[in-house]
Amino acid sequence: MSYLDELNDIQRQAVEHISGPAMIIAGPGSGKTRVLTYRIAHLMELDIDPFNILALTFTNKAAKEMTKRIEKIAGNDARNLFIGTFHSVFARLLRNDGDKLGYPSNFSIYDTQDSRNLIKTIVKEMGVGTDLYKPNMVHNRISNAKNMLLTPMAYIQHPDLRIADEMSGRPKTGEIYLEYNKRCFRSGAMDFDDLLFQMYQLLVKFPEVLGRYQKQFQFVMVDEFQDTNVAQYAIVKKLAEQHRNISVVGDDAQSIYAFRGATIENILNFQNDYKELKVFKLEQNYRSTKSIVDVANQLIKKNTNQLDKTIWTENPKGDAIKVFCTDSDNDEAKKVVDSIFEETLRYHYQYSDIAILYRTNAQSRAMEDALRIKNIPYKIYSGTSFYDRKEVKDMLAYLKLVVNHKDEVALERIINYPTRGIGKTTWQKCVLLTKQYDTTLWEILSDIDRPEYKLKKRVQKAITDFVTMIKSFASLLDKKNAYEVAADLAKASGMLPKLYDDKTVEGVSRYDNFQALLNSIKEFVESDEVGTLGADAEDKSLGSYLQQVMLITNQDKIQGDNTISMMTVHTAKGLEYPLVYVVGMEEDLFPSKMARSSRDALEEERRLFYVAVTRAEKKLRLSFAYRRFKFGEYITCHPSSFLADLPAQHLEIVGKIRKPQSAYARSNKTTTSNHNLKPIQKEKNIPFSNDPNFHPDDVSKITVGEKVRHQRFGTGTVLDIEGAGKDKIATIAFSETGQKRILLKFAKLQIISNG
């Protein structure tokens, strides 16, 4: 069977449409990854050189999965495709041509923490106060400016931005941006936003480079187009300008990253830039039940700013969407965890089948406490990243400095770690020398014994030994792979012995993390997985490893362990689970208080809830609390107005709806009377019995009519048995908890008597 035969009609049309611009509007669960993958494979089947195909994604995981799928259809040539995240692809291109902008080919990439540390240093030097100019706030301001393609001078001269900064009491933000850019450039470093900003500058300032890439990339494809920002779309438009074979895949209803600079206008107004655009709507959902799809459709229809489409499915109706009304956040957590316990016991869901989603990370605490009480394993995503741990960042700083001696952020971090007698006073004196002699810190350190520097002999020797060590490892970069360099440097730097000698509980944990980092480098070197970006897949150098680590996305960290997955809705985008709990469905939480500022903000919050709803395959559970503990006291909460957007016929209310105080009731006054939306009594939560006389019996030959006892559900009568062998399912009417269907091979039942 041809790979094309696996597609439905509209999917196949989208795959086979090759020439000219195309927009594939892909609803949740509609097979967009398959369409994008098969479209690339189809190009290769038509003898298009893979070197001429560029596909941009938002996660490395998506890029790797696409490459593997394409390889199954088109063979090993798939390894020559340019598939990767915007940042990884542009980093690759900037390695080749960044020298035209004055950057070294081995430039460092600063992560968010590196950037904020540098901003903190600049703010201190300027003496304007870190309390007012908080590094995270200034960094966000600079990041937004770069995503809008504003240079520091353009930012300083922009009247609206200047007024906004003055009104916020931070008029020096533009000057900090200017100095920050100078420091990054001097260090031979780019931050995440520079990988976009500088890529655009390269294409604009050097027409010959633009022409070369336009000639190479004859077919340009963009995944998750609704998440692109101004800079990303501007670059893509330039690259596709010559051949106009640009295809974008996305869903405006899942545009949820405005706070990162993403603009929904890119997808809404795409047709204005390409009048000959061909539009394909993938509206069939293969993921979720009909109830979930209907609820999602009804929800998103409330938005006015959207592309016209209606998602549908041939899947079964499935369970109703349960809404848990709870007294407090702790009560909510208990109800959710009790429900999880029940679902795993009765329906045999694995923990890995289940996700708990929330609007803010702060909501995880109560859920964690309740899960621990039940001994249910869980994992929180988007917490502290492994690569943000101190011992890991320290070692990465050593590796970055070996690759790029100009990296002043890395240099400051480890010049005196482990302690080698180069204190803050010496460091500050060296910084002053860079200004006095208009040179870099590395140049100062490399010639530290100059008499005019007036440093003590002991300090001179410590610095000289440090510089010699870094240079000696740099000389090995072309002779050894990443792991060999890192393993030797771990010992020579003194980091490995220092961590090994610390036998405290925290010390052992830090040592384990350090070993895990070295193991990850070894895995990188030994891995033969399909890579991306053509020849880079075979590059096992230290520079290649550092680039890969610095460009890891949140979703790349999500593993398939048998644990409950806990994360914000933003983090969950692109994922799917059989059973999903969305907690904290309250006004000013979801939607957030910030959403009141404008219709656009409220519509983005509704799109975020739409994303949460459509993560669910089989079952969806929503919950809210009437009280939540904040700022040291309980505050009164009201059910989210979004709940009023949901069709009542698909909901099952568990618990008591309070009226008329409820914002839910006020915003949807006719719901109860018109739709008969009444609270449905939750079955009693019977705890496990500790009866010492309970002993499970062999139930393989159990018959209809027998009376049985279950540790949790109580006493009941077998009404029906279906299936055979290990797949037998018994329907049992329990007097305390109602009728249950139980898979007998997992059941622990005590037979009381025959009926």
Residues labelled as active-site residues: 32-33, 223-224, 254, 615
Q: Which amino acid is at 506?
A: E
Q: How far is CA 209 from CA 100, 243, 411, in A?
A: 10, 16, 33
At 26, phi and psi to the nearest 5? -115, 110
Q: How far is CA 472 from CA 404, 447, 466, in A?
A: 13, 16, 10
**Straight-line distance from the first to the last Cα atom of the chain, in angstroms, rounded to the nearest whole number:** 55
At 249, phi and psi to the nearest 5? -120, 130
Q: Is the dihedral of CA 370, 373, 377, 383 positive or negative?
A: positive
Residue 655 DSSP code: S
In terms of Cα–Cα distance, which of 371, 419, 374, 372 is closest to 394?
Answer: 419
Give the C-alpha separation, 54 to 623, whole Å.
43
User: What's the half-sphere exposure (Cβ side, CA atoms, 13 Å) at 392?
Assistant: 20
Residue 417 DSSP code: S
Q: Does residue 152 have a cis peptide bond before it, meaning omega lies within 30 degrees of 0? A: no
- Give yes or no for a contact between 76 and 182, defined as CB atoms under 8 angstroms apart: no
CB atoms within 10 A of CB 159: 7
Q: Which amino acid is at 415?
A: I
Q: Which residues pair with 104 in a beta bridge?
A: none
Q: Is the dihedral of CA 667, 673, 676, 681 positive or negative?
A: positive
Tokens matching residue 403? 């690759």
- Give yes or no for a contact between 62 and 223, defined as CB atoms under 8 angstroms apart: yes
Give the C-alpha separation, 602 to 300, whole Å.
12
Cβ partners under 8 Å of residue 155, min gap 6:
145, 161, 173, 174, 177
Give the C-alpha separation, 327 to 349, whole Å.
27
Q: How far is CA 672 from CA 292, 648, 682, in A?
A: 21, 9, 18
In terms of Cα–Cα distance, which of 104, 45, 669, 29 is closest to 442?
Answer: 104
Q: Which amino acid is at 61?
A: K
To which residue do tokens 């010049």 refer? 415
- Give yes or no for a contact between 350 and 562, defined as CB atoms under 8 angstroms apart: yes
Q: Provide the angle, in degrees to the nearest 10, between the axes of the packed helices 192-205 and 230-239.
A: 40
- Give yes or no for a contact between 404 and 184, defined as CB atoms under 8 angstroms apart: no
